[in-house]
Amino acid sequence: MSATLVSGAANFRDVGGLPAGSGRTRSGVLYRSGNLVQVDEAGRRTLRDLGLRRVIDLRDAAEVAHAPSRLDDLAVEVQHEPLFLGSVASFFERDVTIEQLYAAIVDDGADRVVAAIRGILRAQPVLVHCTVGKDRTGVTVGIALAAAGVDRDAVIADYARTEQLLPAERNEKVRAAIRAFHPESVNAEDLATRSPARAMRSLLDKLDREYGSPAGFLRAHGMSADELHRLREVLVQ
């Protein structure tokens, strides 16, 4: 749960230290963040010092081309698992709620969510990121943590923490763009700048209703019992 300053990487943090029954999530295993386009030499040095071995990038090809990760000579494996099918702009144009967005991610991108979580198992330390580190990252990391047995309230709190970590200057620019391009939108500011606890709670409740649990969602889309056991071993001590 500690914040690690990686120069140029917004919303970068370790998800270690979260309560999981009688245990806690391991530190130095799973990190989450926004994009890495502004990571400088000092930031790369920090990533190197963390021993990062794998990066799971949840952005689509257009986003990656527009804002390529600045990993340079870091010896990391990069796994691309785009979680938005269609343009990001379409969510703003359709004025979907944040709950509807998360439902669409798990309904339309279940195989990619599973592939991303399998990536966590393949090599650690591992970083999961998207553009802001809020929605696609929030959904993927939230499901992984919940399936590994992390306490529900802690999963929700880790997700909600993003809102306090997004730079105020960035948020103001985003709000100005929303007012200019989507003046009638009701939900765009939520989608772009907020991570309300209710959104993660709604997603986890949906997985409970439809699959019995977040782990049940992963099983229904191909994860084995052995993989789920390994996920808990990797993430929880």
Q: For the residues of 15-50, what is the DSSP string, one character each?
A: -TT-EETTEEBPTTSEEEES--TT--HHHHHHHHHT
Q: Which of 9-23, 72-86, 109-123, 149-163 is predicted least confidently?
A: 72-86
The mean pLDDT value for 157-175 works out to: 86
Comparing CA positions, the residue from 66, 190, 76 lying closest to residue 138 is: 190
Residue 2 has pLDDT above 90, yes or no: no
Mean pLDDT of the residues in the chain: 92
User: Dihedral angle at the C-alpha atoms of 63, 59, 123, 154, nearest 10 degrees?
Assistant: 130
Tokens of 76: 């990391």
Task: Give me the percent of the chain exceeding a pLDDT of 70.
Answer: 95
Confidence band for 89, pLDDT divided at 50, 70 and 90: low
Torsion of CA 143, 194, 83, 132, to 10 degrees: -110
What is the Cα–Cα distance from 56 to 111, expressed in whole angstroms? 14
Phi-psi region of 54 (alpha: psi -120 to 50; beta: other; left: phi over 0): beta
pLDDT at residue number 4: 65
Residue 173, pLDDT above cutoff 60:
yes
pLDDT category, 85, cuts 50, 70, 90? low
* Local structure of 55: helix, strand or coil: strand
Higher pLDDT, 52 or 167: 52
CA distance 137 to 133: 5
Q: For residues 201 and 197, what is the distance between their CA atoms, to the nearest angstrom?
A: 6
Q: Which domains does the chain have, with CATH numbers?
A: 13-235 (3.90.190.10)
